[in-house]
Amino acid sequence: MAFPITPDPDLAAEFKKTPLGHHSPQLQRLLRIFRTLPTAGKHALLRIDHRRAWVLVQFNGRKGEPLTVHRDRVFTDWNEAEWAVFKLRWQAYFGEAVPEALG
Amino acid sequence: MTRTLAGYTDRISACPGETIAFKVSAEDGSPSYRASLVRLHCVDSHRDGPGLEEETIPSAFDGEHPARRQPIRIGSRATVEGGGAVSGLGSFSIAMMIWPTLEKEAPQVLFSTLDGAGGGFALAVGAGNRLSLSIGGQDLALDRPLLTREWALVAASYDAATGEAALHAVPANVHAGFSPPQSRMAKFGRKLPTGAAGLISVAARLEPDGRPVEHYNGKIDSPRLLSRALPLEALRRLIVEPLAAQFAADLVAAWDFSEDMGSERAIDLSPNRLDCRLVNMPSRAAKGWNWSGGFQDWKTAPQEYGAIHFHEDDLSDCAWETDFTFTVPKNLPSGCYAAKLEGQGDPEHVVFFVRAPRGKPGARAVFLASTATYIAYGNYRVMNRSNLYEMYLGQLPELVESDLFLNTRPEYGDSLYATHNDGSGMAIGTRLRPTVNMRPNTTLSAFNDDGWIFSWLKAMRLDADFITDEDLHHEGLGLLSDYSLVITGNHPEYISTQMWDALDAFLTRGGRLMYLGGNGFFWRVAFHDDVPGVMELRRAEDGSRPWEAEPGEYYMAFNGEYGGLWRRVGRPPQGLVGVGFTASGFDISSFYRRTEQSADPRAAFIFDGVGDEIIGDFGLAGGGAAGQEIDRYDRALGSPPHALVVARSEDHTEEMMIGKEDMPAANYIIGGTENPLVHADMTFFETPNGGAVFSTGSITWAAGLPWNGFDNSVSRITRNVFERFVDPKPFVYPASRERTA
C-alpha cells in the first residue's frame, strides 16, 4: 500500500450512519480495501428466513468446501450486519477496535 | 433444513395437449416423495411484497412417487465403438496435437481403449503434467512436464512383434530450449491386445461399468490412430496428411474436429468412419495448433479450427431417466408453474411454463419469460467468485439455501458467469439439469423478480399469456402474431438472432412492447439445433464480462454467428427498444424524475393519474425503481430520434458504474456521482404501422410494482401503458418535427 490509510474514526462513523449509499472518497477507498480482501475467511450473509433474517458466514476460498456458519450471529437488519462486518475488518486491518463510542 | 430432491424437465414450456417429462433425483437416497402441481403467482417471500403465492392445482401426477438417486456424470469427452478395426489392434501408433490447460496430480486421459481387465492402452497427461503411455498394466512416462497452454505433438507407438514402445512430445513452440522435444522408449510384452474390446474414449477413461473418469482439460486437435508402429517423423506427417498414401494400409481413424462443427459428432476421415459421439458438449470452434492469426472466423478457415476444448466440468445434459410426465390439460391457464416435490427436506420446485393452446391466445398480451437469461445464470455459485465479487456488489454477498446445496455438488455445474477449473470461460449453458436457483426465494433476481410481474398481473386482474425465449426462438414471428403486446421480464439479457428478428418484425408490423427491465437485448446467444435447452455464448471483444473468450474464438460453434454484444454486430439495444445498457451497481437503487418531454401529449397516457414528479423512490430491490443495471437513450447508438425520454433516473452512487464498452480508456469518471451517462431513461416511441415501445431501462422497476400493495406510481404507470398497449387503436407515427422537446 503506497499511500497508507489511517484509522480515522470519522470514516467508521460515516459508514455506521450509511452502510449503503453515498460515501466520501476516503471511505470509498477504505471500502475498496475491505471488499477486496482475499476470499478465504471473508464474511458474507446467509439468509435463514425469507422474511429477512441472516446469519454471518465466512467463505473458505476453495471450491466445494463448506462455509463457516456463525449461527449465533443473527441479523434482522442488513445495515446492522454490514456494520458488524465493518468492525471486524477494521479490527483486523488496523489492529485496533473502532472507537468505543461508535461500537 | 436443506433440500433433498432435485429435478428438471425435458422442455421449458408446453401447450395444452402437450406432454412434459419430469426427471427427479432423491439426493438423500430416500425411497419416495410427494408431487403436486402448483401455479406460481409470486416467487419471493420478501416481507414488503404479497408473499410467496403458490396455488395448488389438482393434477394427474399428484401423490407419492418412488424415488431414486440419479447420478450426474459431469465432464466432456468423445467416444465411439470402434468395432473390429480397433478390437483387433496389436501394433499401433497414436498421435495428436494437444494444448493442456490444467496441471493435476490425477491422470488426465487423452485417448483410451483400456477395458479395466488388462486390455487396451491409454495416452494421458499424468502427475506433474508428464505425458504417459499405459499398455497391459505397464507405464511409460516422459521426464519433463508439458507446458500448459502451449501446443505440442504427443504421440506413442507400440510394435506387437517386438514389444517396443515409444512415447514422444514435441512442442510446437520451443521456448529457448526450455521445453525441448522428448522421447522415451521401453520394452513391453509382445502381442498385447491394445484395442481391447474396441471401445474408444477421448478425453476421459471409461470404467468397466461405463462411468467416465480421469477427464482431460484442454484442447485436442487432429487425433490419429494407426495399426502400425511408426517413427516420430512419420507421426508428424500423420497429423497434417492422414490420408497420404504411406498411411493408407494402416489408418484406423483420423478425426477432423473442424467438420460438422455445431453437432455432437466428431467426424472420422478414415474409411472406417469411426465418428465419435461427443458427450456434455466440449467447446468447439476452438482455434487449433496451426492457427495463423490470419482468420477470426472458423467458417472461412476451418483447417485452422481443428481443436476441441474439453473440460472436466462441462455439462450439457444430465440425461436422467423420466420419473413422471404431465400432459397439460385443455383448461389450464397459461402461466408459470412448478411440480412441487416434497420429501424429507425443503420442497423442490421444478419450474416450467404453460402456454395458451396453439393459435388460440387467451389474452391480447403475452409475457415473454427470459428463459435464456435463466439458463445463463443457472446454478450461479456465489462461493466460487473471485475476491473482487463484493467490490462488484457494493455490499456483502447474500447467500441462500440453494447456494449451500450447490456448494457441495460440483457435478451440478456452474453458470455462464463462471470459469472452468482450467480458467477458461463457461460458454455453454443448459437447463437439462436441476437449476437450483430458478426456484422460489433464491437470489437469481432475473427469475425471482419476474415474479413481481406475475403477481402484479394477478393483482391488477390483467390478462396475459406466457411464452418463453425458447418458444420465441423456435417459432419466431408467428408466435407473436397472436398478440398485440409483448411484456418482457426484468432482465432479458440473452437474445438469439431468431428472437431479435421476431421482436423487430413484430414491432414493425404494429406490435407493442413493454420492456420492463434493464441490460436487456445485450448478449447474442445461440441455441443448439438438436438439443433444445442448451445455449452457447462467447464473451467476445467488449462488454462487462466475467471472462473473455480466447482471441480468434468469437464465432459460435452452434451456428457460426459472431458472438458477444449485440452492440458489436451493429445492433445496439437502443435500435430495438430505445435504450441500452449504460451502468450497473448493486448497493442501493434510485428513482426517476419526470422530464419536460413527459409533458408531450403523446406521452399523456403514461402518466394518467400520476401526479408525482419523482417516480419509484421505493421498491423491494435496493429501495428504488432505478437500479442494479440501467439503460440509457442514445441517438448515436440507434435510439429512435422521435423517442420521448419521459423520465430519467438520478442520484446514483459511485457504485453505479458505466459499462466497459463506454470507457475507451481507464479513467476515474465512471461512477454515478460524476459520469453523465449513468442514468436510466424511461422511454416511449411509436413504431410504424401503429405499434409502440415503452422501456423502463432498469432491472429494479419490477420490484417497485408490489410496493404498498401494488398501489404506487410504478404500478400505475405500468398499468397505464399496459391498457393503452392492448387497445387496438393505432399509435400515430409522428412527423419528423413533432417532437416537442
Measured distance CA(B248)–CA(A20) in Å, rounded: 71
Mean pLDDT calculated for residue range B317-322: 98
3-state secondary structure of B687: strand
pLDDT on residue B741: 45
In 3D space, the residue among B483, B463, B280, B503 whose CA is nearest the CA of residue B372 turns out to be: B503
Q: What are phi and psi of B137, to 5 degrees?
A: 80, 0
Q: Is the dihedral of CA B719, B722, B727, B731 positive or negative?
A: positive
Residue B547's φ and ψ, nearest 5 degrees, are -155, 165
Q: Who's near A10: CB < 8 A, 6+ residues apart?
A: none
Distance from the Cα of A63 to chain B's closest Cα (Å) equals 6
Asked whether the beta carbons of residue A50 and residue B44 sit closer than 8 angstroms, the reply is yes
So what's the pLDDT on residue A64? 80
CB atoms within 10 A of CB B357: 17
What lies within 8 Å, CB to CB, of B165 at 6+ separation is B133, B135, B140, B156, B157, B158, B159, B185, B186, B187, B188
Arithmetic mean of pLDDT, B154-179? 92
Q: Which of B194, B193, B167, B168 is nearest to B181 (CA)?
A: B168
pLDDT at B739: 53
* Alpha-carbon span B279 to B530, nearest angstrom: 13
Partner A contacted by B1 (CB < 8 A): no
- Count the Cβ atoms, other than its own, within 10 Å of residue B611: 6
Residues B701 and B626: beta-carbon distance below 8 Å: yes
- Rounded CA separation A84/B47 (Å): 23
- The closest CB to that of B588, out of A21, A35, A65, belongs to A21
Distance (Å, rounded) from C-alpha B713 to C-alpha B617?
9
HEC-encoded secondary structure of A20-61 = CCCCCHHHHHHHHHHHCCCCCCCEEEEEEECCCEEEEEECCC
Q: What was the pLDDT predicted at A4?
A: 84
DSSP B83: T
Cα(B705)–Cα(B459) distance, integer angstroms = 10
Beta strands B131-135; B564-565: pairing state: unpaired
B419 touches chain A (CB under 8 A): no
Write the residue in B52, B399, B408 that is nearest to A46 by C-beta: B399
- Of B542, B569, B538, nearest to B554 by C-alpha is B538
Percent of chain B with pLDDT over 70: 99
What is residue B345's predicted lDDT score, i.e. its pLDDT?
87
Q: What angle do CA B461, B462, B463 make, to 5 degrees?
A: 115
Burial class (CB in 10 A: 0-12, 13-18, 19+), B129: middle
- Residue of higher predicted confidence among A101 and B111: B111
Q: Give the position of cell 458466514.
A: A57
Say how far apart CA B49 and CA A22 lie, in whole Å. 26
Helix, strand and coil percent figures for chain B, each rounded to 5 = 20, 30, 50
Instruction: State how far the Cα of B33 lies from the Cα of B54, in Å rounded to an integer.
Output: 19
Laid out side by side, the sheet with A68-75 consists of A68-75, A53-58, A43-49, B398-399
Question: Which range (B55-64, B176-185, B357-366, B550-559) has the least confidence?
Answer: B176-185
| Residue B27, all three cell numbers | 439426493
pLDDT of residue B384 exceeding 90, the answer is no
What average pLDDT does this structure show over B578-598? 98
**Residue carrying the nine cell digits 424415488:** B67
Enter the C-alpha cell of residue B551.
482471441
Residue B664 has pLDDT above 90, yes or no: no
Please name the residues in contact with B600: beta carbons below 8 A apart, sequence gap of 6 or more. B644, B646, B739, B740, B741
pLDDT of amino acid A1: 54
Mean pLDDT over B434-462 rounds to: 95
Q: What was the pLDDT predicted at B176?
A: 64
How much is the pLDDT for B438?
96
| C-beta of residue B700 within 8 angstroms of C-beta of residue B619 | yes
- By C-alpha distance, the chain A residue nearest B52 is A50
B216 closest CA partner among B99, B117, B317:
B99
Whether residue A102 has pLDDT greater than 90: no
Check residue B197 and give its pLDDT.
Answer: 96
* pLDDT recorded at residue A103: 76
B88 at A interface, C-beta within 8 A: no
Q: How far does B448 lie from chain A, in Å, by closest CA?
A: 12
How far does the CA of residue B398 sit from the closest CA of chain A (Å)? 5
* Chain B contact present for A91, CB below 8 A: no
In this predicted structure, the answer to whether residue B740 has a pLDDT above a threshold of 60 is no
Q: Is B64 exposed, middle or buried (0-12, 13-18, 19+ CB in 10 A)?
A: exposed
d(C-alpha A62, C-alpha B600), whole Å? 56
Question: B224, B199 in Cβ contact below 8 A?
Answer: no
B535: left (phi over 0), alpha (psi -120 to 50) or beta: beta
Burial class (CB in 10 A: 0-12, 13-18, 19+), B359: exposed
| Burial readout B29-46 (b: 16 or more C-beta within 10 A, e: otherwise) | eeeebebbbbbbbbbbbb
What number is the average pLDDT over the span B194-208?
A: 97
CA-based end-to-end distance of chain B = 57
Question: Chain B, 664-683: which have a CB under 8 Å from a chain A CB?
Answer: 673
pLDDT value at B267 more than 60: yes
ipTM of the complex, rounded to two decimals? 0.98
Helix (H, G, I), strand (E, B) or coil at A9: helix
B398 touching chain A per CB within 8 A: yes
d(CA B674, CA B672): 6
Chain CA centroid to CA B648, Å: 32
Residue B66, amino acid: P
B487-529 pLDDT, tens digit each: 999 999 999 999 999 999 999 999 999 999 999 999 999 999 9
Distance CA A59, CA A45 (A): 10
Per this entry, what is the length of chain B?
741
- Residue B94 pLDDT greater than 80, yes or no: yes
A24 touches chain B (CB under 8 A): no
Query: Residue B11's closest CA among B474, B524, B499?
Result: B474
Q: Which domains does chain B have, with CATH numbers?
A: 5-72+325-362 (2.60.40), 77-310 (2.60.120.200), 367-654+681-725 (3.40.50.880)
Q: How large a percentage of chain B has pLDDT more than 90?
A: 93
Contact between B92 and B229 under an 8 Å Cβ cutoff? The reply is: yes
Indicate yes or no: CB of B410 within 8 angstroms of CB of A63. Answer: yes
Q: How many CB pairs under 8 A join A and B?
A: 83
Q: How far apart are CA B25 and CA B32, in angstroms?
A: 10
B164 touching A (Cβ < 8 Å): no
Domain boundaries, chain A: 9-94
- Under the phi-then-psi rule, with left for phi > 0, alpha for psi from -120 to 50, and beta for the rest, what region is B215? beta
- Whether B73 contacts B433, CB under 8 Å: no
Q: Which amino acid is at B326?
A: F
Is A19 in Cβ contact with B407 (below 8 Å)? no
CB-CB under 8 Å, B46 with A50 = yes
Is the separation of the CB atoms in B485 and B725 below 8 Å? yes
The answer to whether A58 and A43 have CB atoms below 8 angstroms apart is yes
Query: Which of A22, A32, A67 faces B653 most closely, judged by CB atoms?
Result: A22
Joined grid coordinates for residue B321: 431417466
CA end-to-end span of chain A, whole Å?
A: 27
Separation between Cα atoms, residue B436 and residue B372, nearest integer Å: 15
- Average pLDDT over every residue of B144-156: 96
pLDDT in tens, B389-405: 999 999 999 999 889 99
**B719 with B462: CB under 8 angstroms?**
yes
The mean pLDDT of chain B is: 96
